[in-house]
Chain A
C-alpha cells in the first residue's frame, strides 16, 4: 500500500523569505503522480502543483517549485518570496497511474507566513 509522510506538522516563515516543505512517499509503482494541495483557512482545497513521475524535470508554478527525487521517494515543495496569502495547510498527495482513482494524502503541514 502507498503511504505519504509529511514530517513537519507546523512551520513558519517570514514574509518574502523562502520555505521548503518536505514529503516522502512509499510505493512499489513506477508510474504515478504527485501533488501538493493548499487549504487556506477559508477551507477550499486548491491544487498548487503536480508532478508526473516519468518526467525528470521538476515542476514549477510561479513562486512554487518542487524537488522531485524519485530514487529517494522525496517530493518537497519550495515556496519563494512567501506571501501572507500562502498561510495555509499544505497536503502532499500520491496517485498511481495503474487504474485506481485513489489519492493518498499526507497529514499536512500547517504553514504560517509572518509579516
Chain B
C-alpha cells in the first residue's frame, strides 16, 4: 500500500452504535489530520496530531474521539452519532518542518462515507 489509506470506505451505523474509522499513512510523515466534508459546506478540520500529540481540536463534539497510537496510524472512534454527522470523513498526513520539497503539503486518503440512520 502506498500513500494514505482509510478503512472502511463506506459505513452505515445507527445512532446507538459504536464504530471506528482507521487511517494509515505510508509516507513517513509526522502529522495526521481528520477532516469532515459535508455536501455544500467547506472542508472542516476536526483534529490534528503532530508526533502523536494532539495539537488541534476544532470544537468537535465528544461523540467523536480520536486516537493516534503512532505517527503512521490514526483512528476516529464514533459513538451515539446524530444523522447530521453523516458525511465524508477524510484523513490526511504531512511532513511538518524540514527542508524536503514536499514539506508542509497534506496528502489525503480516499475517505470514509459515513451514513448515520
Contact = CB atoms under 8 A, between A and B. Distances in A.
B109 A44 contact: yes
A43 B91 CA distance: 12
Interface residues of B, number: 23
9 contacts: A33-B105, A43-B110, A45-B92, A45-B108, A50-B105, A101-B31, A102-B48, A103-B33, A103-B45
A33 B104 contact: yes
B56 A43 contact: no
Nearest to B94: A101
Contact of A107 (B42, B55, B56): B42
A84 interface: no
A45 B105 CA distance: 12
B45 to A, nearest CB: 6
A47 interface: yes
A91 B43 contact: yes
Interface of A: 33, 35, 37, 42-47, 50, 91, 95, 97, 101-103, 105-108
B66 interface: no
A40 B56 CA distance: 28
A27 to B, nearest CB: 15
Nearest to A6: B42
